[in-house]
Structure 1
Amino acid sequence: MERSLRLGRLATFAYFVLNGFLMGMWIVHIPDIEHRAGISHAVLGWLLLLLGAGAFAGMQLVGPLTDRFGARTVVPLSAALCSAGVVLPGWAPNAWTLGAALLVLGLGNGCLDVSMNAHAIQVEHGYRRPVMSAFHAAFSIGGVLAALAGARMLSWGWSPVANLGTVALVGLVVAAVAAPALLGAGGTRLPDPPAAAATEGRGTKTPRRVWGLAALALMIMLCEGVANDWSTLHLRNVLGAPAATAALAYGAFSTAMTVGRLLTDRVAARFGPVAVLRYGASAAALGLTTASLSSSVPVTLTGWTLFGAGLSGCVPQLFSAAGHADPDAAGTNVSRVAGLGYVGMLAGPAVIGPLTQVIPLHLTFFLPVACCVVAAATAGILRPRNAAPTRLETPDGATDSGSSPAHVGPETTSDTHSVERSHEH
């Protein structure tokens, strides 16, 4: 494997960790920032919509820019914008300035999210095997690092400006140091096979397929948003668990998500992305159904764990398929999928709230269960248009015709195992 490709992969890991770290540090400092600005929880809730709006705008803006100027140029600039933006909320003395700061931070986050995923597509194309899920696991690891570092910095009694200013400087250094290792325009690629579908996205039907992937991303990320905001409240309010025990629900979900993403690339290489989405979404539906109907805390925690494990590999497969649909429009296609997915992440928690006025909280979870069922039923959208379904032999001798062979994006390669394998993490 070319050294430049290895370095490009390491640089991509660095940017994913950085993105998770920056956003995690903002989250850790929310209570102090809210106090400094003198606002209520309700006002903060409305201001957080500006963070989401900025992120969505950044995603749509940077997609075409990445296609035009290349991820090597756009990723470092996006990382610098996100790093600089993270310090702004710490300076905000009132609601108006905090809203403007969150808009800028969201813009930087959205730009970095799409551009680094577009670069990850280039890296994956070069490796000619799935590597996307490990990058998304790196984002989660960045959030864990932020929680640990943030707790330590807060224990020192530093102000939000000092803490986030330090974080911003670290982010700018990482953005600059990792930039030279990024792949150039077009990335480092192995020769395409004769029947490769690198141009499958050039036809008039491509937008429909990409929007289909985006719709699935919305549903899957809606499920993630529900788990993020309601899993702990579920154990606390429905099962009457102590606060410390209730917190384990989100911990179980997020841990399963991280571990699952570290393992998913190997599963996708063996059974194909269709199988990852189909069986992952099915497992997630089973897990959340179990959690919703159980009156036992251990069983409920098991259900939330299975929910996280099932969802863990789904979104990376959707991003990968969108990026590989047309290499020349990878940034734009990823921005569509990421943008709608982000809408789902924000909408999930917001939808559950009003539903609890009509039905009990645990029954509202059948909305994300339904989303998982739809995702499992339509997983075939990940199969390349020109690749026929294949029957894969499973360890017990059974066959599965629902997934395509190990491949990356639209390409079906016969030499996957001849490519040098390296550890996913």
Structure 2
Amino acid sequence: MPSPRDRQTRAATYVVYGVQGLSFATLLIQVASLQSKHGLSEGAITVLLLIVPVFAGVGSIAAGALAARLGSKALLRVAQPVVAVCVAAAGAAPDVPLLIPALLVFGLAVGAVDAGMNMQGVAVERRYGMEVLNGFHCVWSVLGAAGALWASAAAGLPLQVVMAAPMVLAVAGSLYAGPRLCTADEEKAGTTAAESPSGGLPWRPIIPLCLAMAFLYVGDAAVSNFNSVYMRDVVEASAHVIPLAYFAYQAATLAVRLGGDLAVRRYGPAAIVRIGGALATLGFLGVVLAPNQPLAVVAFGLTGVGLSVVAPQSFSAAGRLDPAGTGVAIARVNLFNYVGFVVGAALVGGLGEAAGMRLAFGAPLLLAAAIIVLAPGFQPRRAAAPA
């Protein structure tokens, strides 16, 4: 039976995930607007977008080291408000020289938050003794979809207002949740010294999770960074219609994650990831072939259905491989989030400039299919002996 403290930490973790979803969506849904505001080419916006995942990877690595010593709570209390401030600063930046440092600091902070919030999620899952991580990612999707709807409704307002207004809520949410998260001792509760990976966690059982995470985020980078460019240039959508593609992606992600924990408990993580890879492949095929705006929006939604299950199961599986709760396995898997985002932004952006956005989405189509092959690596197993 969960204790009041268990319920408090779970509620706070929901807030942290929600704030991150809102912050991330508020920035990425405005890629086309930032491109137009600063007169950037496809190549230039791709280079700028690479700043975020590169520095997020650095932030994730640092988060793993710091969380092992201080716990992820201290990390999140500092990094998450910084993310919100940087989103507002990116919208207000009058020129590229001021936009770049806002994106750089955003990347560092968002990497730390991504790693830290999943450490908190796995800690809560361990305390409850059952799968709950899909629920946290579900809240991420709810607030991401809310950010997309806000962007659509507020399309006529100045960009700095559209991006700053949601960040007021983001700062308030992070300040509320921070003191209520699991402490460093609580993150490691229930473990013993014998479980501590004194020789270091082995890489081999983590590699399928890392690859699946990378392939997932190639697809996610394609959708998050270029859905607005695709909708504007390929199917010629208006400013009010463009955000609906990302809304469909996030809404579909939400719908799947609402029942994700129950599905995993019934069918197992490997089966769920295999089905997700197949549906994501069909979704990207739809994006490549979509002849009009409605079908393009539906196709983006189908990619969300498929990709939505991969990240929660990657982090949950990584947590099972690190029973001492050090956060090392989670930080490693999270790093490949940004590997995928870097590759996705560069690959899809480069192909988009060379051959058009429609063909560019063929790259994540192929990698989504590869997730199907990696699914057996998600099957629960006992943690391997230290290497």
Which blocks of at least 5 consecutive residues in structure 1 are unaligned? Answer: 387-409, 412-425
Contact in 1 for aligned 2:214/2:336 (Cα 8 Å): yes
TM-score (norm 2): 0.81
The separation in 1 between residues aligned to 2:32 and 2:219, in whole angstroms, is: 26
Q: Cα distance, 1:242 vs. partner?
A: 5.6
The separation in 1 between residues aligned to 2:95 and 2:356, in whole angstroms, is: 37
The separation in 2 between residues aligned to 1:152 and 1:252, in whole angstroms, is: 15
The separation in 1 between residues aligned to 2:173 and 2:149, in whole angstroms, is: 19
The verdict on how the C-alpha distance between 1:252 and 1:154 changes in structure 2, with shifts beyond 3 A counting, is closer
What residue number does 1:121 align with?
122
What residue number does 1:315 align with?
311
Matched to 1:347, the amino acid is V
Contact in 1 for aligned 2:53/2:341 (Cα 8 Å): no
The separation in 2 between residues aligned to 1:367 and 1:304, in whole angstroms, is: 15
Matched to 1:101, the amino acid is A
Alignment of 1:174-253 (within 5 A): 174-187=173-186, 199=195, 206-230=202-226, 243=238, 249-253=245-249
Q: Cα distance, 1:79 vs. partner?
A: 1.6
The verdict on how the C-alpha distance between 1:137 and 1:295 changes in structure 2, with shifts beyond 3 A counting, is same
More helix by share: 2
The separation in 2 between residues aligned to 1:223 and 1:31, in whole angstroms, is: 18
Contact in 1 for aligned 2:228/2:242 (Cα 8 Å): yes
The verdict on how the C-alpha distance between 1:242 and 1:300 changes in structure 2, with shifts beyond 3 A counting, is closer
The verdict on how the C-alpha distance between 1:82 and 1:245 changes in structure 2, with shifts beyond 3 A counting, is closer
Name which of 365, 373, 378 aligns with 1:377: 373
Matched to 1:57, the amino acid is V
What residue number does 2:53 align with?
52
Higher relative contact order (CA 8 A, sep 6+): 2
Q: Tell me the alpha carbon deviations over residues 252-281 of structure 1, each in whole angstroms, 9 at most, x when there is no partner.
A: 333212211222111111111111111211
The verdict on how the C-alpha distance between 1:334 and 1:350 changes in structure 2, with shifts beyond 3 A counting, is same
What residue number does 1:19 align with?
20
The verdict on how the C-alpha distance between 1:202 and 1:220 changes in structure 2, with shifts beyond 3 A counting, is farther
How many corresponding residue pairs?
379
What residue number does 1:286 align with?
282
Matched to 2:255, the amino acid is V
The separation in 2 between residues aligned to 1:266 and 1:176, in whole angstroms, is: 31
Contact in 2 for aligned 1:90/1:164 (Cα 8 Å): yes
Q: Cα distance, 1:168 vs. partner?
A: 5.3
The separation in 2 between residues aligned to 1:292 and 1:347, in whole angstroms, is: 19
Q: Does 1:102 align with 2:114?
A: no
Alignment of 1:146-161 (within 5 A): 146-149=147-150, 160=160
> Which is greater in Rg?
1
Q: Cα distance, 1:349 vs. partner?
A: 4.0
Q: Tell me the alpha carbon deviations over residues 174-212 of structure 1, each in whole angstroms, 9 at most, x when there is no partner.
A: 2232223212224378868xxx9x949666662232243
Contact in 1 for aligned 2:212/2:310 (Cα 8 Å): no
The separation in 1 between residues aligned to 2:230 and 2:168, in whole angstroms, is: 39
Q: Tell me the alpha carbon deviations over residues 346-404 of structure 1, each in whole angstroms, 9 at most, x when there is no partner.
A: 42243134446776765554432332232211211122343xxxxxxxxxxxxxxxxxx
